[in-house]
Structure 1
Amino acid sequence: MRQPSRVLASALILSLLLGGCSYKQHVQNSDQNYGTRQKNDPKMQGSRMYGTLGTDSTQHHNRFFEYSSQLSRDVTRLNGIGQAIVMLTDKNAYVGIVLDGTATHAVRSGSKVIREQNNGGWMEGVYNHQTGSDKWDNRQLVTPYNSYFSVNDHNELSSKLKQTIAVRVRKLAPAVQEVHITANRDLVNQFVEYSRESWAGSDLSPYVEPFNILVQKHFAGGNEMPVPLQIIKQKADKNGGKAIIGKYSGSDPETGSFGNPGDAGGASQNR
């Protein structure tokens, strides 16, 4: 007959092993880990729910767009996401996110993404620890210093992260044809500007053209960038309330630079 102490010790070891396996599986299947792919991971079951799903060349030719506060809040609740801004159109959902580092492997495995933010100033009580400056553009959600994290190319985001976001978006917006997701700094900050207009009760219809150019640039390889909304509004103030809706002629498709504001052109529209 086995000694009671040995039986208890064996039971304790087995319990710890099973508990450890259970915890590991829980983490892998949760939104705390966007890297490990298990055979039965619920986040990766079924077909791909994000990105380009068809061959329609007009997929990003949206007729209208609107800010969704509900979807933005819902996606923001996911681990690893500091803030999400979701725009809905007559065709698609566009999700701009910034990462907060609370989940692992939000950027795909093996990625050579260069960290875009320098947050060294947090410990020094300044915005830019390289210059000692405490000034920043507080209209921007994501900046080069003391900020949430951005990723320039949406292809570098974990497929597991994008699938998790897309599934959540489609639960509340089942009619959308495609869900496009990025953590690009320029796009996210422009989405913030559009959302501010929505919060203020302003009509977004005058900005459909620059919005379409923006999403075509980031999700369909477009070479043009729109005039940033802040500049459109500044020009409108100088033009008797008529917004200049146009695009830059000298944008850089590799860096995502908005180019020279002096190159902005386009037709005038009543706002």
Structure 2
Amino acid sequence: MMTRRNWRRSLVPLLVLALMIGPTLTGCSYKRYVQDSTYDYGTKQKGDPKMLGSRMYGAMSSNPYQHDNNWVEYSSLLSTDISNINGVAGALVFLSDKNAYVGMTLDWTATGTRKSGGPGTMEQDNTGSNEGVFNVDNGSPFWNNQRIAGPYNSYFTVNDHNEISSELKQTIAIHVRRIAPTVQEVHISANQEFVNHLVQYAQEAWAGRSLTPWYDSFNKLVKHQFEGGNDVPAPINVQKLKAAGHLGSQ
């Protein structure tokens, strides 16, 4: 059992350490400490450690077939790792023979996750939680469990992936490449439609089902999101209904 004398002796080094660190985390030094951390993706100070080195995300080549993936798999390890980054509410990460694809929602655990815009640019209306409903416009209490993001009472999305902070994307890409160093490109989006599509691919993997039948659909999805492709595949649940003959061919 620790005596009072031993307790005081063990406390002395902690007090000394606090006195040494304290002055460095006050005033301007503390402000810079926060700006350099992953709690701030918007200040963009010169020498910010989050942006040192070359760009690690986005298109790295002019290969017109970069998103023609030959295989795709869901990465539970990377999804968990990226979800733990400050500013990220949750992430789904998929690896292919060429790339890593990150679909995510955002929260308020960090500033500057979006490049520009104030409250008026927010894509979510979360006021319904104060009134005990899900959809504040029609009073509905129901949520579509096939979606992880929506316009009401949801974590935050960003329609254009180019509007996500470069510091946040760099931070995510570094995490991805640390775990999966062979990926050629890391593509990141917080687009609502994109993440809601990805959750259905993830559900297939969680259920132990192969993603092989969905490779073409997945490639069409990422081309639409990151290449400006015109075609958006139907969600997997809709494709399954069509295959079973429960929906028309439209």
TM-score interval (norm. to shorter): 0.7 to 0.9
Q: Distance in 1 between matches of 2:188 and 2:25?
A: 37
- Whether the 8 Å contact between 1:111 and 1:156 is mirrored in structure 2 is no
Q: 1:53 to 1:157 in 2, by over 3 A?
A: same
Deviates more, 1:45-54 or 1:131-140: 131-140
The aligned runs of 1:119-198 (5 Å cut-off) are: 119-198=126-205
Match of 1:59 among 66, 69, 75: 66
Identical amino acids, percent of aligned pairs:
53
Q: Distance in 1 between matches of 2:143 and 2:241?
A: 20
Residue 39 of structure 2 aligns with which residue? 32
Question: How far 1:114 moved relative to its partner?
Answer: 2.4
Write the letter of the residue equivalent to 2:157.
S
Q: Distance in 1 between matches of 2:48 and 2:248?
A: 50
Q: Distance in 2 between matches of 1:155 and 1:111?
A: 16
Q: Distance in 2 between matches of 1:113 and 1:161?
A: 21
Segments ≥4 residues shifted beyond 6 Å = none
Question: How far 1:125 moved relative to its partner?
Answer: 1.1
More strand by share: 1
Q: Distance in 2 between matches of 1:263 and 1:142?
A: 27
Q: Deviations over 1:103-133 (max 9, x none)?
A: 1010014689821110001111110122211
RMSD: 2.0
Write the letter of the residue equivalent to 1:228.
P
TM-score by length of 1: 0.80
Q: Distance in 2 between matches of 1:179 and 1:108?
A: 19
Q: Distance in 1 between matches of 2:234 and 2:139?
A: 31
Q: 1:25 to 1:263 in 2, by over 3 A?
A: farther
TM-score by length of 2: 0.87
Question: How far 1:18 moved relative to its partner?
Answer: 5.8
Q: Distance in 2 between matches of 1:75 and 1:221?
A: 25
Q: Distance in 1 between matches of 2:116 and 2:54?
A: 21
Q: Please give the secondary structure, in 2, of the residue aligned with 1:179.
A: strand
Q: 1:111 to 1:262 in 2, by over 3 A?
A: farther
Q: Deviations over 1:177-208 (max 9, x none)?
A: 00000000111011100001000000101100
Residue 203 of structure 1 aligns with which residue? 210
Question: How far 1:35 moved relative to its partner?
Answer: 0.6
More helix by share: 2
Write the letter of the residue equivalent to 2:223.
Q
Match of 2:229 among 222, 232, 236: 222
- Whether the 8 Å contact between 1:113 and 1:156 is mirrored in structure 2 is no
Q: Which runs of 5+ in 1 are unaligned?
A: 1-11, 240-260, 265-271
Q: Which runs of 5+ in 2 are unaligned?
A: 1-18
